[in-house]
Chain A
Amino acid sequence: MKKLLKREGVQAFLASIICILLGLLIGYVVLLLINPNGATESIVKLVQNFFVSKRANLRLKNFGNTLTKTIPLIMCSLSILFSYKVGLFNIGAAGQYVAGACACLYAALGWGWGWLPCMLFAMVIAAVYGAIVGVLKAYCNVNEVISGIMLNWIGLYTANTILSSVKETASPYTLYLDKENPSALLPNIGLDKLFNNSTVTIAVPMALIIAIVVSIVLNKTRIGYELRATGINKNAAKYAGMAENRNIIMTLAISGALAGLGASMLYQTGYMRWECTQSSVPAMGFNGIAAAFLGGLSPIGTIFSSFFIQHITDGGSNVNTNFYSSQISDVISSVIIYLCGFVLFIKLTINKMISRSDEKKGAKN
Chain B
Amino acid sequence: MESPYAIEMLNITKRFPGIIANDNITLQLKKGEIHALLGENGAGKSTLMSVLFGLYQAEEGTIKKDGEVVKINDPNDANALGIGMVHQHFKLVECFTVLDNIIMGVEPVGPMGFLRKKEAREKVIALSKKYGLDVDPDAKIEDITVGMQQRTEILKMLYRDNEILIFDEPTAVLTPQEIDELMQIMRNLAAEGKSILFISHKLAEIMAVADRCTVLRKGKYIGTVNTKDVTMEELSAMMVGRNVNFHVEKKPATPGDTVLEVRHMTVASKTHSNNAVKDASFKVRRGEIVCIAGIDGNGQSELVYGLTGLEPLTKGEIVLDGKDITKASIRKRSTSGMSHIPEDRHKHGLVLDYSLEYNMILQTYFESAFTDKIGFLRRKNIRNFSDKLIEQYDVRSGQGSITSARSMSGGNQQKAIIARELDKQPEVLVAVQPTRGLDVGAIEYIHKQLVAQRDAGKAVLLISLELDEVMDVPDRILVMYEGEIVGELDPKKTTQEELGLYMAGAKRDEVKA
A-to-B contact residues, CB < 8 Å: 220-223, 225-226, 228-229, 232-233, 235-242, 355, 358-359, 362-363
Contacts and interface: CB of A to CB of B under 8 A. Distances in A.
Contact of B363 (A225, A241, A362): A241
Contacts of A222: 365-366, 370-371, 375-377
Given A236-B362, A355-B17, A241 B377 contact: no
A235 B377 contact: no
14 contacts: A220-B376, A220-B377, A222-B371, A222-B375, A223-B375, A232-B353, A233-B351, A236-B350, A237-B351, A239-B310, A239-B349, A240-B334, A241-B333, A358-B17
A236 B375 contact: no
B22 to A, nearest CB: 13
Given A220-B377, A221-B376, A239-B330, A362 B351 contact: no
Contacts of B370: 222
Contacts of A235: 347-348
A222 B366 CA distance: 7
Contacts of B379: 220
A238 B353 contact: no
A362 B17 contact: yes
A233 B351 CA distance: 6
Given A220-B377, A359-B16, A362-B15, 12 more contacts: A220-B379, A222-B366, A226-B365, A229-B358, A232-B352, A236-B349, A238-B310, A239-B330, A239-B340, A239-B349, A242-B331, A363-B15
Given A238-B310, A239-B348, A240-B363, A225 B358 contact: yes
Contacts, number: 74
Nearest to B363: A240
Contacts of B332: 241
Contacts of A232: 351-354
Nearest to B59: A363
Q: Nearest 7 A-B pairs (CB), nearest first?
A: A241-B331, A241-B330, A239-B348, A222-B371, A240-B362, A358-B17, A233-B351
A227 to B, nearest CB: 12
B351 A236 contact: yes
B434 interface: no
B354 A229 contact: yes
A7 B124 CA distance: 57
B60 to A, nearest CB: 10
Nearest to B345: A236
B105 interface: no
A233 B352 contact: yes
A364 to B, nearest CB: 10
Nearest to B364: A240
Contacts of A220: 376-377, 379
A232 B355 CA distance: 12
B16 A362 contact: yes
Contacts of B366: 222
Residue with the greatest number of chain A CB neighbours at <10 A, chosen from B17, B342, B347: B17
B329 interface: yes
Interface in B1-28: 15-18
Contacts of A355: 17
A229 B366 CA distance: 13
A216 to B, nearest CB: 8
Contact of B330 (A233, A238, A362, A363): A238
Nearest to B365: A225
A241 to B, nearest CB: 3
A233 B353 CA distance: 9
Interface in B302-330: 308, 310, 329-330
Contacts of A359: 15-17
Contacts of B351: 229, 232-233, 236-237
Residue with the greatest number of chain B CB neighbours at <10 A, chosen from A239, A362, A363: A239
Contacts of A223: 375
Given A222-B371, A232-B351, A241-B330, A362 B358 contact: no
Contacts of A240: 330, 334, 362-363
Nearest to A222: B371
A232 B405 CA distance: 13
A222 B18 CA distance: 36
A226 B371 CA distance: 12
